[in-house]
Amino acid sequence: MTTYERRQTILRMLQENASVKVTELAHHLNVSEGTIRNDLEALDKERQLVRVRGGAVARDQNLIPSYAINARARVNMDAKRRIAQWAAGMVESGDSMLLDASTTVYHMAAFLKDRQNLTVVTNGLEVARLLAENPTNTVILLGGILKNDGSAVVGGISETILKALHIQNAFVSASGFSIEAGLMENDIQEAQLKSMMIKAAGRTIALLDTSKFGKLRLAPFAALKSIDHIVTDNEVSPQIADQLSRANIHLTICSETTVTTYPPHIENQTYYTIGFANMSEEMPFGRDVRRSLEIAAKNANNIHLVVADNQLSGEVALEVAEDLIAQHVDLVIEYQIDEKIGNIIAHKFNQAGIPVISVDIPMVGATFFGVDNYKTGYIAGVALAEAVQSEWGSSFDKLVVMEHPRAGHLVAARIQGQLDGFLDVIPKVKKSDMIFVDCGNNLQVSEAVMLELLESLPDARRLPVICFNDEATLGAIYAARKLNREQDLLLSGQGADRLVRREIARPNSRLVGASAYKPEKYGEKLIEIALKILNGEPVPPAIYVEHTFLDAGNIAIHYPNVMSEK
C-alpha cells in the first residue's frame, strides 16, 4: 500500500467511525505507530482531519454546531454521506451552484474541499462557513431572517436576490417527499425560498435519503416535474424507483460500493446494465471520464450505469469487480491503473462471461480504449526540448522524469516517447543528467516528491520536467510555487484536464503544454463501443483516442472558454 492509499484508508475509516486511534490503525494497516502518527500529522496539515492525543477525529464533526443541525446531520448519516459524496462528484473547480441549508448538502460541502474557485449561493450558515474556509471560493449568503435554530436564513430579501440569478445547478433536500406532492418542508418560509432557488437554476438535483420518502409535510415546494434528478440510497423500494423512472426522472441510487443511475423508463425499450470502475474520483481526469460516461449513458436512453471508485487501489478494484459480477452487469468499463491487478480483474470478468473495455491501461482479454502512449509522449518531449533550446540554449542542470512504473509497460511508452522526443532535439544527454522519480499517480505524492527533489537541488536553476500525467504536472508546479522556484522549471504534460488547461492558459506559465486526451469525450466513444459489443457487432481489439498537443498558442482554439470551463 502506498502512502497515499494508506492515508485514504485512514480517511475512509474516519468517515465510518468519526474517530480513530493510532494503535488500532497501526494494527489494521500493518505499519508502525510512528508511520501512523506521521500520516495523521500530514492529514491534519491538509485540514482533512483533526489530530488529537492518541489518534484523530473527523474535521467536519467539529464544524457541525451543537444546535439543531447537529441532531439532524446524524439521522441516516451513512446514507447522507454516500449521497453527498456522489453529488460532490458533479462539481468541478470553477463551478457555480445553489445550495440549500439541509444537512445532506452540508455533508456534500465537506466533500468539496479539494475544489477551487467555486461560486456558491446558499442560505445555509454552516454550508457557507465550511466553503468559505477556502479563500479561492466566493460564497454568497442569502440575506433575510435568521431561523430560531440558527441553521439558515429565510425571507423576502433572499427571494429578491434569487430573482436576478441564473445558475446551472441547484442542490436541495427536503424534510418530506412523495410521488404525488414532491418535495416538502414544515417551514413555509423555507419552502418558499427553496421554490425560488429552483426557479433560479437550470437544473435541480434533489438529495434525498430514504428516511424522507413517504413523509408528508406542511408546505410543498417542488413537484416532480420541477426535479431533474433524484439521488437517494439503496433502501429505496423497487416500486418507488420504478415510479420515479416512469415520471421522467433520472434516478441515482448510492449503495456502499457502487452508484447506479437509471434513465427515465421507455416502454418496449431494451436496457443494458454497464458497470464503470473508475480509476479514482479524487482525480479531475477520472471525474471528467465518469461525467462524460454519465452524459453519454443519459443520451443513449437505454443504459443503467453502475459507477464504482477503484480509489487507486488494487485491493479495492478487486472488491469492486466482485460486486459488479454479483450485480450481473452486461458489460464492464474498467479504469485500473495497476497493470498486474488489471489482468486478474479481467480474468474474473471473463470467467463470468462479462465483456470488458479497459481504459488507458491494457488488460488481457479486454478491448482497449485509450491513447497511443508513445505518440502522445513523443510530441510532448519534442515541445519541451524546443522550449529548453529556446530559453536555456539547450543547457540544463537535470532532466527530471516523473514516471509511474506500476502502470505497466504500455503506459511506460508514454515516458519513453517523451524521452525520445526530447533526445531527438537535444541529443547529447547522459543517464547521469536524468533524475527519475515515482509520481505516485496522484497530486499529493507528486507535490511531495518534487518538494523533496527541489530541496535537494538548491542551486539548480534549469530543470526540464517530463510528467506522467496531469497529477504529476500540477504537483510539480505547486511544489515549485511553495518554494518560490517556479522559474527554475519547464514542464510538458500528459492528459490536459481542466486544471492543466487553465495552467497552460495562465500568463507566463512554465508549463510548455500537454498532450490532450480530452477525457470529456471519452464517454461518447466508450458507450458507442459498449453498445456494439452488446449488440454482437465486431470491434477492433484496440481503439485509440484522438489527441492534440495544447500550448499557449492554440489552447483558445480548442477550448475557447478555458478559464471558465464547467
* Least trusted range by pLDDT, from 404-418, 423-437, 456-470: 404-418
Task: Read off the pLDDT of each residue in 119-124 and give the average, rounded to a whole number.
Answer: 92
* Least trusted range by pLDDT, from 50-59, 88-97, 466-475, 497-506: 50-59
- Is residue 73 over pLDDT 80? no
The confidence score (pLDDT) of residue 17 equals 67
Mean pLDDT of all residues belonging to the chain = 89
- Is residue 62 over pLDDT 60? no
Greater confidence (104 vs 47) lies with: 104
Which of 63-67, 161-165, 516-520 has the largest mean confidence? 516-520
Which residue from 370, 318, 324 is spatially nearest to 344, judged by alpha carbons? 318
The confidence score (pLDDT) of residue 198 equals 92
Given pLDDT bands bounded at 50, 70 and 90, which one contains residue 16?
A: low
* Least trusted range by pLDDT, from 57-71, 396-410, 472-486, 521-535: 57-71
* Least trusted range by pLDDT, from 151-160, 396-405, 544-553: 151-160
Joined together, the cell numbers standing for residue 382 give: 519534442
Interior/surface letters 121-134, b for 16+ CB within 10 angstroms, e for the rest: bbbbbbbbebbeeb
Number of H helices, E strands in the chain: 21, 28
Which residue from 376, 559, 539, 542 is spatially nearest to 467, judged by alpha carbons? 376
Given pLDDT bands bounded at 50, 70 and 90, which one contains residue 150?
A: low
Give the ranges where 302-408 is alpha helix by DSSP (H). Answer: 314-326, 339-351, 373-392
Strand order in the sheet with 55-58: 19-21, 55-58, 49-52
CA distance 461 to 485: 8
Amino acid at 91: V
Amino acid at 236: V
The confidence score (pLDDT) of residue 394 equals 96
Task: Give the tens place of pLDDT for each residue, 305-361.
Answer: 999 999 888 888 999 999 999 999 999 999 987 878 989 999 999 999 999 999 988
Which residue from 379, 501, 486 is spatially nearest to 92, judged by alpha carbons? 501
Backbone angles phi, psi at 146, to 5 degrees: -75, 130
The confidence score (pLDDT) of residue 117 equals 87
Given pLDDT bands bounded at 50, 70 and 90, which one contains residue 50?
A: confident
The confidence score (pLDDT) of residue 229 equals 96
Amino acid at 351: Q
- Is residue 411 over pLDDT 90? no
Task: Read off the pLDDT of each residue in 89-102 and give the average, rounded to a whole number.
Answer: 90
- Is residue 462 over pLDDT 60? yes
Q: Are 231 and 252 in contact (CB under 8 A)?
A: yes
Kind plus residue range of the DSSP H or E element containing 181: none
The confidence score (pLDDT) of residue 67 equals 40
Question: Angle between the 498-505 and 470-482 helix axes, to the nearest 10 degrees?
Answer: 50
Which residue from 271, 275, 175, 167 is spatially nearest to 222, judged by alpha carbons? 175
Task: Read off the pLDDT of each residue in 229-243 and give the average, rounded to a whole number.
Answer: 95
Pairing verdict, β 145-146 and 153-154? antiparallel
Amino acid at 143: G
CA distance 171 to 204: 6
Task: Read off the pLDDT of each residue in 363-383 and give the average, rounded to a whole number.
Answer: 94
CA distance 444 to 4: 8
Q: Are 391 and 439 in contact (CB under 8 A)?
A: no
Q: How many residues does the chain have?
A: 566
Joined together, the cell numbers standing for residue 365 give: 482479454
pTM beyond cutoff 0.75 = no
Which residue from 187, 153, 194, 192 is spatially nearest to 173, judged by alpha carbons? 194
- Is residue 523 over pLDDT 90? yes
CA distance 467 to 473: 6
Task: Read off the pLDDT of each residue in 68-96 and give the average, rounded to a whole number.
Answer: 79
3-state DSSP call for residue 183? Answer: strand
CA distance 66 to 79: 21
The confidence score (pLDDT) of residue 38 equals 87
Task: Read off the pLDDT of each residue in 463-492 and give the average, rounded to a whole number.
Answer: 96
- Is residue 71 over pLDDT 90? no
Task: Read off the pLDDT of each residue in 498-519 and give the average, rounded to a whole number.
Answer: 93
3-state DSSP call for residue 513? Answer: strand
- Is residue 64 over pLDDT 60? no
Amino acid at 548: T
Task: Read off the pLDDT of each residue in 243-263 and give the average, rounded to a whole number.
Answer: 92
* Least trusted range by pLDDT, from 103-117, 138-152, 327-341, 392-406: 138-152
